[in-house]
Amino acid sequence: MVEPGLDFLTIYDGVGTGGPVLATLNGTSVPPQVVATSGAVTLVFTSDNSAVYAGFSLEWETEVPLPDEPQLTIDPTPTCGSFLLQVNFDYALIS
C-alpha cells in the first residue's frame, strides 16, 4: 500500500532519473503493466513519512531475444589427404 496522494513510486526507463518517466503511481490500486524498452529501469520511492505502511510489492519479468544463429564456414575447402582444416566461427550476441 502506498499512501494515496502523499507517497509515490516513479518508474523511469533507463539507468537513473534522466530517462523518460514510464509511470508515477500512488494509492492502493494495481497499476497497468509498465514496459521499459531501454533494458533497464529505475524506481524512485518518495514518501512524506506521515504514515507507516508495508510499502509496495513488485513483479518483474524480462524477455531476452534469441541470439542470431552462428555462422560457420570452412575456408578453404579441404582436399583429400589434408592435415589442416581452418574453421571460422562468427557469432553475434546482439544484432
Q: Judge whether residue 94 has pLDDT over 60.
A: no
Quick: pLDDT tens for 21-68: 999 988 877 788 899 999 899 999 888 878 777 767 788 888 877 877
54 to 1, 2, 19, 57, 66: CA distances (angstroms): 6, 8, 28, 9, 38
Which residues on adjacent β-strands are paired with residue 9?
25, 45
Cell (9 digits) for 72? 560457420
> Which of the four pLDDT bands, split at 50, 70 and 90, describes residue 78?
low
φ, ψ for residue 94, nearest 5 deg:
-135, 130
Cell (9 digits) for 84? 589442416
pLDDT of residue 18: 95
What is the pTM (predicted TM-score) of this model? 0.62
Mean pLDDT, to the nearest integer, of 4-22? 91
